[in-house]
Every structure is written in C-alpha cells, then in structure tokens.
C-alpha cells in the first residue's frame, strides 16, 4: 500500500514538473515573440502609388539587411502618417521636404533647397525623428491639364479661370502650400469651386472631362500614359519637395544604416518609370521594387 502511495505521489510530482516546464517554455516563447514584435520596424505610407512604392523600397532594403519589418501602407494623407510616426504607430516612411516645411511645421515658404532641408531636419530632430537621407528626386506639385497649346504656364490659367473646373485631393484645398495660396500668388479668381475627391480619382476625372485642372505630382506616371500636360510654375510658387526618409531615432542601428544606404538612389525619371510600371502597366508593387533594387545592386 505504501509502495502504491509513493508511486502515485511520484507520478503527481512528475506531472507537476512537466506542466511547470511547459508553462515556462510557453512563457519563454511568448516573450520571444513579444520581443520580436517590439523590435519589428513598422514602415508606413500615404495613400497613393508613389508613397506605397517608396514604403516598399524601405521595407525590402531593411529586410535585406536582416531587419524584421511590418508594413502599414495606404494609411491616409500627410497628417495621418505624420501623427503615426510621432506617436510610435510607425517607425519610418517617406515624406517630402516642402510638405514637411509648410503643411506639417507651418513654416513660411522657402525656395532654397538647402534652407528647406536644414529647417526641416532641425525641427524633426527636436522631436527625436531623423530626417533623411534624401532619395534623390524632387516630386513637386504639378498643375495638370489636358493638352492645350494655349496653356503652358500657371499664369496662363487666367485665360480660362471663368470656365475651368478644378478637381483636387482633399489635402490640396486646405494646405498652406495648396490651392488658396496658389490663387493668391498668381492672382487667380476661378469662378468654380474645386471638386474634392480621392487623389487617385483626379486623373480619371481630368482625362474623362469631368475636370479641367488637377494638382498631381511631377513624377506621376499617369501624366505621360494619359497624354496630359504639366503647367510651368513660372512665378515659382511651390518650394522644393525632395523625397526623404523619416525614421524614429530608436530603431536598431543596422536598420537605420540600411535606410541611409538609399541616399540618392532615385532621380525624377526613375521615379516616374516606377510609378508608370504600377499605374500604367499594372505590375505588383513588390515586384517593381524588387526588380529596381536588384538592378541598382548590379550597377554599384
């Protein structure tokens, strides 16, 4: 009888030890999983093709350097992404210097590229955000119309301000460097209030005749594919919009080093081609970015 009791006691102890070990192992796995998640670099993007392409470029570059990455693309406009990186919802995304200066920091317009970059970098550093590197291209706002031999510059819009229907993304009608400021700078007085719509729909509206003037980006691939025309900013209203990586200063060093390696990787023409590959040729973003990075690796 005593022998049977001892056997049962030993069995219960063995079961307890196995259970306890299982709990410890499970807790360790959860801790490791939590640690991995916490050290994952979260890359964001705005809600248009170029921003998603650039977000994917950041993500693939860091993954090649051995950094675990989480993608949070198509978040929304400028203010959504800016809020996300400041509150830790994302760790990196691509912003434009002129947008950061005027729309985010509410600073006066500056035309000097060096002054814009210096002002923005200093302001971001004060909030533990790193500005840069610049990717190498300037994606300035572009005022776009259907092809018209009588319209070459923004000043030429005075001849059509009574009849033209503008259509813009939601941000452009509100931003300090957007429509209201452009009207003042060029002394324009459009008779029709702009239609507002998702940014991606403005090109379709222009091409189909539902709108006569839109605000796009100078590197948009749809400008060429739809046969549209960019008006020259002849009175130099728009500041430089150099595309730059913004990242939180507390990301791992190998990840920030990977992001720094992207300095100067693109020019205007290259960015335009990438946008066209997605918007015009309907290729997947990941494939377009992967092919581009492989081509740059071969040439370096």
Could you tell me if 239 and 52 are in contact, meaning their C-beta atoms sit under 8 angstroms apart? Answer: no
Q: Are residues 107 and 157 in the same domain?
A: no
Residues 258, 261, 263: CA angle, nearest 5 degrees:
135
**74 and 47 within one domain:** yes
Domain membership of residue 267 as a residue range: 41-139+239-299
Number of domains in the chain: 2
Tokens of 60: 């693939």
| Residue 184: its H or E element | helix 179-186
Give the DSSP H/E element, type plus range, for residue 3.
helix 2-38
Contact of 230 with 144, CB cutoff 8 Å: yes
Residue 28 resides in a domain: no
> The tokens of 209 are what?
């005749």
pLDDT number for residue 24? 37
Q: What pLDDT, on a 0 to 100 scale, did the predictor assign at position 148?
A: 94
Query: What pLDDT does residue 112 have?
Result: 86
Establish if 95 belongs to a structural domain.
Answer: yes
Domain stops at, among 231, 247, 269: 231
Each residue's pLDDT expressed in tens, for the chain with a length of 300 residues: 444 444 444 444 444 344 344 433 333 333 333 333 457 999 999 999 999 999 999 999 999 999 999 999 999 989 999 999 999 999 999 999 999 998 899 998 777 899 999 999 999 999 999 999 999 999 988 999 999 999 999 999 999 999 999 999 888 998 878 999 999 999 999 999 999 998 879 999 999 999 999 999 889 888 888 889 999 999 999 888 999 999 999 999 999 999 999 999 999 999 999 999 998 899 999 999 999 999 987 655
Angstrom distance (rounded) from CA 105 to CA 293: 32
The pLDDT of residue 38 is 52
Give the global pTM.
0.75
Query: What CATH number is associated with residue 114?
Result: 3.40.190.10
Residue 192 falls inside a structural domain: yes
Question: Do 266 and 222 share a structural domain?
Answer: no
Q: Which helix (H) or strand (E) holds 298?
A: helix 285-299
133 and 264 share one domain? yes
- Chain center to CA of 158: 33
Length of the chain: 300
160 shares a domain with 281: no
Rounded CA-CA distance 92/58 in Å is 8
Please check whether residue 26 lies inside any domain of the structure: no
Strands (E), 75-124: 92-96
CATH number of the domain enclosing 174: 3.40.190.120
Query: Would 17 be classed as within a structural domain?
Result: no
Q: Is residue 190 part of a domain?
A: yes
C-alpha–C-alpha distance, residues 294 and 300, integer Å: 10
22's CB contacts (< 8 A; 6+ apart) are none
14 exposure class (CB count in 10 Å sphere: 0-12, 13-18, 19+): exposed
Q: What are the strands, taking DSSP E only, across the chain? A: 41-44, 69-72, 92-96, 129-138, 141-146, 166-168, 195-196, 213-217, 228-231, 242-248
Straight-line distance from the first to the last Cα atom of the chain, in angstroms, rounded to the nearest whole number: 81
Of the candidates 154, 137, 109, which has an alpha carbon nearest to the alpha carbon of residue 217? 137
């Amino acid at each position: 009888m005593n022998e049977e009791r001892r056997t049962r006691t030993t069995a219960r102890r063995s079961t307890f030890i196995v259970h306890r070990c299982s709990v410890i192992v499970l807790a360790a796995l959860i801790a490791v999983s939590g640690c991995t998640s916490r050290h994952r670099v979260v890359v964001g993007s705005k809600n248009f093709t170029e921003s998603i392409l650039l977000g994917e470029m950041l993500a693939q570059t860091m993954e090649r350097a051995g950094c675990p990455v989480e993608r949070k693309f198509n978040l929304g406009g400028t203010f959504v992404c800016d809020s996300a990186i400041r509150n830790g919802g994302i760790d990196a995304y691509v912003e434009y210097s002129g947008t950061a200066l005027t729309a985010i920091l509410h600073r006066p317009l500056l035309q000097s590229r060096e002054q814009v970059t210096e002002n923005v970098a200093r302001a971001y550093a004060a909030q533990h955000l790193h500005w840069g590197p610049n990717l190498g291209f300037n994606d300035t706002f572009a005022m776009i119309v259907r092809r018209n031999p009588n319209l070459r510059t923004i000043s030429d819009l005075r001849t059509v301000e009574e009849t033209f229907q503008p259509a813009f993304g939601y941000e452009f009608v509100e931003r300090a460097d957007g429509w209201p400021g452009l009207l003042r700078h060029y002394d324009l007085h459009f008779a029709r209030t702009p239609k507002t719509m998702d940014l991606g729909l403005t090109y379709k509206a222009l091409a189909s005749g539902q709108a006569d003037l839109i605000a796009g980006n100078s590197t948009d691939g749809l400008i060429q594919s739809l046969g549209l025309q960019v008006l020259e900013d002849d009175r130099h209203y728009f500041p430089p919009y150099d595309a730059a990586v913004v990242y939180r200063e507390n990301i791992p060093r190998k990840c920030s080093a990977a992001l720094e390696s992207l300095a100067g990787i693109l020019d205007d023409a290259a960015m335009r081609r990438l946008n066209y590959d997605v918007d015009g040729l309907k290729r997947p973003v990941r494939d377009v970015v992967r092919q581009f990075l492989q081509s740059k690796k071969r040439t370096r």
